Amino acid sequence: MTEKTPKSAAARRQFIFDSAKMVCGVGMLGLGLGLYAKQSKALPALALRPPGALPEDDFLGACIRCGLCVRDCPYNTLVLAKPEDPVTTGTPFFTARNIPCEMCDDIPCVKACPTKALDHGLTDINKAKMGIAVLIDHETCLNFLGLRCDVCYRVCPVIDKAITLDLQPNQRTGRHAMFLPTVHSEHCTGCGKCEKSCVLEESAIRILPPKLAQGSLGKHYRVGWEEQKKAGGSLIDESKMLDLPDRLPEGAVLPGHYDPASGHTEAMRGMAGSEAGVIPSLPPGLGGKP
């Protein structure tokens, strides 16, 4: 900047004026860029990063937009964002509904990455967390309608772990089962095969960022029955438990009611597999006697 010393007052004025002009201009450009950078950290929910990708905030600082992961993806799953895409320009992403991740055993995309944008510590693709599948629409999912579509469950590379079919009685017919696809977050890699293969016009199951899909228990929360299992028995002295009168009408029975004093549970309507006894009128196959 100060290659020559301004000689006169006028020259000095001009010099200061020019410098101020330049600093202001560059400052405005920087402000714009900074705000744009902040915006760019908001990755659209349906744009998924490659396996092993750092959280979005860190990813945009580490990824140098070279496209090597895109080149080494054998299924053309990954693409580099173009300027008009809602994803930060030049960064890799995929859209599960177009081409999902095939979960290669050797994870070539991660190996190709020259930075730590894709974590080279990820060597088991089953540990990837590209997102979490969420059966987001219970109103259109064919299995929720009582049909046996099961496609998302069948295509899942981690079948019976990441997605299971949970039996529920079909309240509509009163005599059939519903096989509800249920995602288990600890096993789901977010590959998107389920979203891709959902037979509906718009997929009822979608891969969402974990942040969007998952709740989080308070750190101080303890789940009683798990603590009980860990301790190998009740955590309190149950014999000293005070049992208040139930104040039910004489002879009345409350289905599902647990009486701590006697340890007896009244039979409950419905729920198959519950500890309560089954109702004899249940149709065959749902716990009723054939």
Residue 147 contacts another protein per CB under 8 A: no
| Among 67-75, 94-102, 124-132, 166-174, the segment contacting another protein (CB under 8 A) | 67-75
Residue 20 contacts another protein per CB under 8 A: no
* Closest distance of CB 47 from another protein, Å: 15
User: Cα separations (Å) of 10 from 3, 6, 15, 16, 185?
Assistant: 17, 9, 9, 10, 70
| Contact between 86 and 93 (Cβ < 8 Å) | no
Residue 115 contacts another protein per CB under 8 A: yes
End-to-end CA distance of the chain: 92
Amino acid (1-letter code) at residue 288: G
| Among 108-116, 121-129, 170-178, 185-193, the segment contacting another protein (CB under 8 A) | 108-116
Amino acid (1-letter code) at residue 179: F
* Closest distance of CB 195 from another protein, Å: 24
Phi/psi for 79 (5° steps) reads -130, 155
Q: Identify each DSSP E strand in 114-248 by its residue range.
A: 132-135, 163-170, 176-183, 205-208
Coil vs helix vs strand at 67: coil
| Among 61-69, 201-209, 247-255, 272-280, the segment contacting another protein (CB under 8 A) | 61-69
Residue 80 contacts another protein per CB under 8 A: yes
Binding residues (CB under 8 A) for another protein: these are 1, 18, 22-23, 25-27, 29-30, 33-34, 36-38, 40-41, 57-58, 60-68, 70-72, 79-80, 82-85, 88-90, 112-117, 120
